[in-house]
Amino acid sequence: MQNMVTRLFNPEEALDRLGNDTALLKHLVLTFQGDFTRQRDALEDAIGSGSLPQLKKELHGLKGSSAAVGAAVIAENIRDLEQRIAAGSAGWSEAVATSRHVLQQLQAVQKEFGTWMQSAEC
């Protein structure tokens, strides 16, 4: 039976992209975690502003940093939203709903980072 729980953080994929450099991935994860509050607050501020360009800017930055640390599911959700916005098939309400979902995922991925950091060897 297939595991029905989707991992938000895929350290194996990230390590593969980083030449199996565990120390580098730990550094990237720590940097991401250190910037978490600012990213979360910026995304919440963008939602509160009602500005789609500001929301797109914050989401775009999160997409890149999420992909860099192996949180591909979050990056893919943002990429899909960006594509729908660009195609005109997603408006403000969908952008806000997806952004709130991304905020929940960002909170959840912190736990996955913590578990991996405790078990990872350098």
pLDDT at 17: 92
Number of other CB atoms surrounding residue 93 within 10 Å:
8
N-term to C-term CA, the chain: 33
Residue 8 class from Cβ within 10 Å (0-12 exposed, 13-18 middle, 19+ buried)? Answer: buried
pLDDT at 122: 53
pLDDT at 2: 40
Please tell me the distance from the alpha carbon of residue 72 to that of residue 74, in angstroms, as a whole number: 5
Global confidence as pTM: 0.84
pLDDT at 3: 44
Using 70 as the pLDDT threshold, list the residues of the chain that sit under it: 1-6, 121-122
C-alpha distance from residue 114 to each of 13, 30, 74, 89, 108 (Å): 17, 10, 17, 37, 10
pLDDT at 48: 94
